[in-house]
Structure 1
Amino acid sequence: MNLAIIGLLLCLLLVFFQDWKYRHIHVALPIVIFSLSFYIIQQQSNIVLKIIGYNIVFFLITLSVLTIYMSIKNKQFLNPFQNYFGLGDLLFYIAITPLFLLQKYILFFILSMVFAVAMQLGLKKIIKQETVPLAGFSALLLIMVILKDTFLNFQKMTML
């Protein structure tokens, strides 16, 4: 395991702890995660910008559909960052775009949502806040995925 991957794992661990404890993450963490991810993947693939572009478009379409749905449901425009989704969550999901091809990014996105809900429900007695640390739980899942991809010979999810 090279230093860039170790640095990426440490940043993801920081995201988990910060989001768990404070329900927000430092803005530098997604920037470092994106930079490390970009650095690692650009060494392996010359289409990294295309990969990032596809993943960001998917994420923005998903966020837009969520915003439209919630606005129609409540009969007024709802800012998703005030009601459902944190800015740290947005930055986190954009920061990890270099790590996945589009199909795997969609799969990780869905799995991370399910994982976050399961963790929130499973830790209901420990977690006192009503909000879900989505970026934190997603970072925890990504740590497990990266470790699996690095050490086990199963089908890889990330491009590491």
Structure 2
Amino acid sequence: MKTAPAILLLCLVIVFIQDWKFRKIHVVLPLVIFAISFFIIAIEKYDLLEIVLFNTGFFLTTLSILTIYMSMKSKRFLNPFQHYFGLGDLLFYVAITPLFLLKNYILFFILSLLFAIILQFGLKKFIKEETVPLAGFSALFLFIVILKDSFFVFQKITLL
């Protein structure tokens, strides 16, 4: 395995550990993940700017719809970062945008949310906080997906 993908995997493990223990991640981690992902994929023949813009647009649209829905439900504006979504989660999902084509980013986003829900319920006895370490669980899921994509040639999800 080359150095850059190994650093990417290490960063994902650190995101998981930090989010699990502290329910926050260091701001440098998403920046490193984005830079390494951009560097790795830039070697390939993809229009990375377009990929990043489309994936970020999808994510921000989803977050906006969620904010509008939750605000309408409570009959007042709810800041998503104070009530149900962390800034680290936002930074993580934006940081991984270079790794996927849009349809695969959407697939990863949905599957990572399901993975987080399953882990949250499965580890309920061991988790003391009420919040979900979404960035951490998503990083763990991405770690598994990258390993799967590296060792098996069928149904690759990432651009790695």
Classify the TM-score, shorter chain. over 0.9
Deviations 1:35-68 (A, max 9, x none): 0000000101240110000000000100000000
Query: What is the CA-CA distance between 1:153 and the residue it aligns to?
Result: 1.9
Equivalent residue, structure 2, for 1:75: 75
Letter in 2 for 1:25: I
Q: Output the amino acid matched with 2:86.
A: G
Partner of 2:86: 86
Determine the structure 2 residue equivalent to 1:143.
143
Distance 2:72 2:46 in 1: 41
Partner of 1:20: 20
CA-based RMSD: 0.5
Residue type of the alignment partner of 2:107: L
How many percent of aligned residue pairs carry the same amino acid? 67
State how many pairs are aligned. Answer: 160
SS at match of 2:104: helix
Deviation per CA, 1:54-94: give whole Å up to 9, x if none. 00000010000000000000000000000010000000000
Write the distance in 2 (CA, Å) between the matches of 1:147 and 1:154. Answer: 12
What displacement does 1:152 show? Answer: 1.1
Tell me the TM-score normalized by structure 1. Answer: 0.99
Does residue 88 of structure 2 align to residue 98 of structure 1?
no
Give 5+ residue unaligned stretches, structure 2.
none
Q: Secondary structure at the match of 2:113?
A: helix
Which structure 1 segments of 5+ residues have no match? none
Match of 2:114 in 1: 114
Q: Which residue of 1 aligns with 2:159?
A: 159
Aligned to 2:29: 29
Query: What amino acid is aligned across from residue 136 of structure 2 in structure 1?
Result: G
Which residue identity lines up with residue 26 of structure 2 in the other structure? H
SS in 1 for 2:143: helix
* Per-residue deviation, residues 75-120 of structure 1 (Å, max 9, x unmatched): 0000000001000000000000000000000000000000001000
Q: Deviations over 1:96-147 (max 9, x none)?
A: 0000000000000000000001000000000010000000000000000000
Aligned-partner Cα distance in 1 for 2:46–2:97: 15
Q: State the secondary structure of the residue aligned to 1:154.
A: coil
